[in-house]
Amino acid sequence: DDTNRETILEQRRNLPAFAVKHDLITTIRDNQVTIIIGETGSGKTTQLTQYLYEEGFTNLNGVKQVIACTQPRRVAAMSVAKRVSEEMNCKLGQEVGFTIRFEDKTDPNKTIIKYMTEGILLREILVDPMLTNYSCIIIDEAHERSLNTDILLGLFRNLLMKRRDLKLIVTSATMNADKFTRFFGTAPQFTIPGRTYPVEVFFNKNTCSDYVEAAVKQILTVHLRNSSMSSGEYVNDGDILVFMTGQEDIEITCDLLREKLDLLENPPPLDIYPIYSTMPSDLQRKIFTKKNLRRRKVVVATNIAETSLTVDGIKYVIDCGLVKVKLYNPKLSMDTLQVVPISLANADQRSGRAGRVGPGITYRLYTERAIDSMYIQPIPEIQRTNLCNSMLLLKSLHIEDINRFPFLDSPPKDLLNCSLYDLWAIGALDNLGALTQLGKSMTKFPIEPTLAKLILLASRPEFHCSEEMITIVAMLSVPNIFSRPKERAKEADMARDKFVIAESDHLTLLNVYTQWNINMGKRINISAWCNKNFLQLKSLLRVKDIRKQLLLIMNSSKLPLLKSRSDDDIRKCLAASFYHQAAKLTKMNLSGNPEFVSLRHNYMKMYLHPTSSLLDSNLSTNFVIYHELVLTTKEYMNYITVVDPMWLLQFGYKFYTVADSYKDKINLPITKKNGRNDC
């Protein structure tokens, strides 16, 4: 263990940040805001917090103060906190901890270094706008320009004037750094000198038709060409990092790679590590395992590995040139995940990952000409995403006139207006754009406003189903409840059918949880039960935990836990919360997918998501509400429940009928038409 500690210390001393520690600290001491620029792996995320701690920033005249470091992603917050706790030789969750949504691994009496998602810091600002417990805030990975980064930086412009003693440190890759400096007026830029080696870049000659196949081919070529034998064993010259877009193509890449390797007679050993943000953290940790010269490692990652996760020992980068981004279509109020070409800045960032330990090579799976049509910088999230959550938050912070908020880059008017309209539509804002009581209550829950509304309504005597609704909301907050391995898809579908409650995906989810919970109480092997039913035990355990936390929030808000008297209580509550996301059946396709039209979006055609339990049922009425709209090959409604159209009219009356006629009187710019419908 002592040798282990010595290695850790040695590693720390070797980081580029260590060499400039003194100047770095002086700059931070002399300025309220410091912009820090440094290569990936220079020690920004893991070292800065520790330096500040060593310099006494966690102790103000005997009073404990906290150093916070925000991350755009949950995964990074967890894994970095773990690493730093090891470096500081303490138990994770004590001196060093992390907080992400629904998971708090900190100790209010002990924690002095706290990694957290940006969303968590925003929620803390709601509770304590002065952030009194903190002495330093590091906004890490600011160049990524996540929506929450932008909102936080805007809020800090004001907060810093009220708290002159608070230090703000913004870390950034080279891209965007000047923008932050300008935003904060006189903030100095501190560059951590980095050791980087040249990276040779190869482009594809032709546009490839299948980037997964192309990537697998490239991995194999690199691997086979650059492995050699030494005293009877294989030796390799460095690891491979592959950039893909998301879980799906990452898994296919890994599968295909394994398949191809299996076909080879006597391949050099290759360890394959997928990494994406929703994968279990224990699996993610594996990518940090020590380099084994005899076994080459290939890490197949999303753009999480671009800057936020430092994987050491990479010599080869394979870049598919694409990234999955969330795009919000304000006309349809629909978030879509779309795969788009990366920007030049991203391409450079990705290539750079090959030159950290020595000269490296990057294979770009796109042509050199494709570069011409790339954006220089990625479009910041605030200009392309749903702003409902952020607007609700700003309204709760009494920022009444959103137009006067100091945005780094302003969101497009359309996006802003539609988000405000949506908040009005669900009753979070009144006709003058002010927060309603309902809207204020929604902010108590760290979930989408509509889901919060579900819980709030369900707690009223009229709807009387909060007991079930928190389960449904918790189930909707966790991906991958059902497992559906490709080779056993039929079996999985049959297992799933057993849980179906007619005409409602929401009630089906509730039923899954209820059955699981009953069996948890029995003395049976729950893991075997889950396997038999194609359910993911880990996800269900997480649901249980989230449910517990929602319950705590309900308690502290004095909301009663009410058991439903019938399923209709639940359906009614769903209609009352989701009337703005309703559709009407128009074509019952006997063979295929029935066709619906939206009651709102200019009668756009929509379909049942392939995983919906409604797909094979005869629908008793023609109206449904849906949780979300996803666009893949078609516009699919996801999580659907059949509702009585009278309920839609009853609860959504204002939305469906008054919206148009009041258009001029409402102080919100209403940009949507066709709010009216024929139900």
In the complex, the residues that contact ligand ADP under the rule CB under 6 A are: 15, 38, 40-47, 79-80, 82-83, 288, 310, 312
Nearer to ligand ADP, 287 or 418 (CB): 287
Which value, to the nearest 10 degrees, does the dihedral of the CA atoms of residues 138, 139, 142, 146 take?
A: 160
Positions touching Mg ion (CB under 5 A) are 44-45
Q: Which residues pair with 356 in a beta bridge?
A: none
Using CA atoms, how far apart are residues 338 and 635, in angstroms rounded to an integer?
13
Nearer to Mg ion, 44 or 73 (CB): 44
Distance CA 64, CA 66 (A): 7
Tell me how far, at minimum, the Cβ of 97 lies from Mg ion, in Å.
Answer: 18
Instruction: Please check whether residue 409 is in contact with residue 377, taking contact to mean a CB–CB distance below 8 angstroms.
Output: no
User: In this complex, which beta carbon is closest to ligand ADP, that of residue 280 or of residue 610?
Assistant: 280
Residue 283 or 646 with smaller CB distance to ligand ADP: 283
Closest approach, Cβ 49 to Mg ion, in A, equals: 11
Amino acid at 189: Q
The Cα–Cα gap between 359 and 111 comes to 40
Min dist CB 288 to ligand ADP, Å, is 4
CB of 400 to Mg ion, least distance (A): 36
Q: How far apart are CA 427 and CA 437, in angstroms?
A: 9
From the CB of 9, what's the least distance to ligand ADP, in Å? 13
Contacted entry of Mg ion, ligand ADP, none for residue 83, CB cut-off 5 to 8 Å set by kind: ligand ADP
The residue number whose beta carbon is nearest to Mg ion equals: 45
Rounding to the nearest 10 degrees, give the CA dihedral for residues 362, 367, 368, 370: -120
Q: Name which of ligand ADP, Mg ion, none residue 38 binds, using a CB cut-off of 5 to 8 Å depending on partner kind.
A: ligand ADP
What torsion, rounded to 10 degrees, do the Cα atoms 366, 371, 377, 379 define? Answer: -70
Shortest approach of ligand ADP to residue 480 CB, angstroms?
24
Element (H, E) at 452: helix 449-458
Range 90-95, long-range pairs (CB < 8 A, 24+ positions): none
Nearer to Mg ion, 142 or 608 (CB): 142
Residues in CB range of 327: below 8 A, 6 or more apart = 335, 336, 337, 338, 384, 385
Which CB, 356 or 395, lies closer to ligand ADP?
356
Residue 43 interacts with, from ligand ADP, Mg ion, none (CB under 5-8 Å by kind): ligand ADP
**340 or 357: CB nearest ligand ADP:** 357
Helix, strand or coil, per DSSP, at residue 585: strand
User: Half-sphere exposure of 130 toward its Cβ, with a 13 Å CA cutoff?
Assistant: 7
What is the residue whose two structure tokens read 């950039």?
Answer: 243
Min dist CB 76 to Mg ion, Å, is 7
Q: What is the DSSP string of 354-385?
A: GGSSS-EEEEEEEEGGGGGGS-SSPPPGGGTS
- CA-CA distance, 237 to 315, in Å (whole number)? 8
Contacts of 366 (CB under 8 A, 6+ apart): 203, 204, 207, 208, 320, 321, 341
Write down the least CB distance from residue 308 to Mg ion, Å: 6
Nearer to Mg ion, 192 or 365 (CB): 192
| Interatomic CA distance for residues 541 and 545, integer angstroms | 6
Instruction: Report what 277 binds from ligand ADP, Mg ion, none; CB cut-off 5-8 Å by kind.
Output: none
**What minimum distance in Å lies between the beta carbon of 96 and Mg ion?**
16
- Helices (H) and strands (E) counted in the chain, each on its own, are 25, 25
Comparison of 92 and 320: residue with beta carbon closer to ligand ADP: 92
Q: Are strands 623-631 and 635-642 parallel, antiparallel or unpaired?
A: antiparallel
CB of 6 to ligand ADP, least distance (A): 16
* Residue 29: both structure tokens together: 């001491």
For ligand ADP, give the closer residue by CB, 308 or 477: 308
Closest separation in Å from C-beta 99 to ligand ADP: 18
Residue whose CB is less far from Mg ion, 41 or 378: 41
